[in-house]
Amino acid sequence: MPLTVAALRQYANSPPDAAEEERKEKEHTEQVLASLRNRTFEDQADESCARHEAGDLSRTVSRLLARNADSVKMANIGRPAKPKNIFEMNLPSTFAY
């Protein structure tokens, strides 16, 4: 059955079926509990690390450092290299102290 715009609108605007949502949530909970009960911790940790980039700390740190370096470069465009020291400023001779 090909999806049409009208069918998508009808699906998006229809209220969610509470019984179906509860059944899906219960099924997902049972799958998670079965996984936690039947698999070793090492297997679960390996799968989690493979699934999420946060498991590889060095890669995450490198990515963050590169992103921050790029943002600093972009922020410094058009700025003077170093702010002037107010104690080394040459004031005009007509300046009254």
Domain hosting 81: range is: 5-95
pLDDT of residue 67: 76
pLDDT of residue 54: 59
Q: pLDDT tens for residues 16-68? A: 888 888 999 999 999 989 988 999 988 888 888 777 765 577 777 777 787 77
Number of domains in the chain: 1
With helix as H, strand as E and coil as C, how does 67-79 read?
Answer: HHHHHHHHHHCCC
Q: Are 77 and 70 in contact (CB under 8 A)?
A: no
Q: How confident is the model at residue 93 (pLDDT cuts 50, 70, 90)?
A: confident
